[in-house]
Each structure stands twice: as structure tokens, then as C-alpha cells.
Amino acid sequence: MSITNNLNDLKAKLPKDVTLVAVSKTKPNEAIREAYDSGQRIFGENKVQELAQKYKDLPKDIEWHLIGHLQTNKVKYIAPFVSLIHAVDSFKLLKEINKQALKNNRVINCLLQVKIAEEDSKFGLTQTDVEELINNDTVQQLEGVKIIGLMGMATNSSDENQIKKEFNSLNVFLQQLSTEHSTLNTLSMGMSSDYQLALAEGSNMIRVGSTIFGGRA
């Protein structure tokens, strides 16, 4: 199977209103090129340095998403071009993104990462943290960032009910928040192993790597 075939098979299964982020971490530029040539324009990376290098090397109409944990001191390397940061998990990080966005005359779209998995290895905010953050006056005045939704990762498990329950909790939470915050409408959840469950629970943005590009070393 080629990347083009994998991508086409995947896209055929997705509802029209679902955004596909092709997760290209660790994959070479040629692999991204192949996906690009078959029409894919949104790619996700989890490391700042790799993302910045690929941005330099590849076509400028690619929309680059940072999907991994972001350290405050690295925001400056991606602020000139990143189109969505998925894993914002602190006020401090949000303020730094705002500062770097303004330096670049940009507004950077962000998602707040919510901890939904039972495993404690995953990053993320609690629902209370999220509420405090989005209702904070200082946050609301940041002109360089736009919080457009939530991101979550389910427990890495074969228990589908567990995964569904976690995805469902994030969807319910977003629906609840969006009644008062109309800009919150992106729900980034689901990867190769669980995107079908995520879609069934209301995801409208999936981050899929190995199903498109093959396994990673």
C-alpha cells in the first residue's frame, strides 16, 4: 500500500466536516510530499525542531499543526507559521504564545489539552483548570491567541468502552463550554487506533499518523 492509497482509503471513511491532520512525525520529507501531492494540506508534528525544519523544506501552503507538548522557551521557533497548537496546558504557555504571536503580527489558534485518560502519563488540564483559564479576564484579553476548542487523548487500551467514555466526556464538556463561548467548536480527538470511536463520540478533528504513513521505528 502506498501513502496515496492509505490516505484515499481513510478520507473515503471520513464525514465531510471532519478535519484530517496527517501526523508526519519522524517521517521524511518525501513521504509528506507524496501525501501533499495527493491533496493533503494539513500535517501534524510533535517536536518543535522537526516541525520548524519541515516548514522550511516543504511547500508554504501546508498548514502545520503542533500536536505534542510545547515548552514555553520553544514557542518562538514556530510562532511565525504554525496554524494550530493542539496541546496548550498552562496559562504561562498561553501567555508566551500570545507574546510571540504579537511579535509576528499573528493570531495563533490554540486548543486546550484536557486530561481524559486514566493513565497519569498524559499531559493535560482538568475541566476545572479549563474553566478557570477561559473565564480568566487576562486570558480573554490576549489578542494574539484564539482558543478554538479542546484536544484529548484516550487511554491506550483495548477496552473500547473505556475509550468511548473518555471521548464522550470531552465532547460533553465542549458542548457545555460552547454555550457560553461560541468560538469553541474544534474537538481534536482520535488517532490511528481509536479515530472511529472518537468520530462516533463527536470528534471533528482527527490526528492520524501510522494508518497513513506506516509504523514508526
How far apart are alpha carbons 77 and 93 in whole angstroms?
14
Name residues contacting ligand PLP, limited to 3-32 (CB under 6 A).
Answer: 23, 25
Question: What residues have CB less than 8 Å from 205, skipping those under 6 apart?
Answer: 18, 19, 21, 149, 186, 187, 188, 189
Rounded to a whole number of angstroms, the minimum distance from the CB of residue 215 to ligand PLP is 8
Residue placing its CB nearer to ligand PLP in the complex, 38 or 104: 38
Please tell me whether residue 210 binds ligand PLP under the rule CB under 6 A: yes
**Is residue 122 a contact residue for ligand PLP (CB under 6 A)?**
no
Under the criterion CB under 6 A, does residue 112 sit at the interface with ligand PLP?
A: no
203 binds ligand PLP (CB under 6 A): no
**Helix (H/G/I), strand (E/B), else coil: 151:** strand
**Are 107 and 97 a contacting pair, CB within 8 Å?**
no
We find the least distance from the C-beta atom of residue 178 to ligand PLP, in angstroms, to be 22
Minimal distance, residue 198 CB to ligand PLP, in Å = 11
Q: For the residues of 37-48, what is the DSSP string, one character each?
A: HTT--EEEES-H
> At closest approach, how far in Å is the CB of 166 from ligand PLP?
14
Applying CB under 6 A, the span of 4-12, 174-182, 196-204, 205-213 interacting with ligand PLP comes to: 205-213
Residues 136-195 contacting ligand PLP, CB under 6 A: 191-193
Distance of CA 161 to the CA centre of its chain: 23
Distance (Å, whole) CA 155 – CA 167:
10
Number of residues that bind ligand PLP (CB under 6 A): 13
Q: What is the 3-state secondary structure (H, E, C) of 59-86?
A: CCCCEEEECCCCCHHHHHHHCCCCCEEE
**Between 23 and 197, CB nearer to ligand PLP:** 23
Binding residues for ligand PLP restricted to 46-75, rule: CB under 6 A? 46, 67-68
208 belongs to the binding site for ligand PLP (CB under 6 A): yes
Q: Give CA–CA dist 35/185, Å, rounded.
A: 27
Binding site for ligand PLP (CB under 6 A): 23, 25, 46, 67-68, 191-193, 207-211
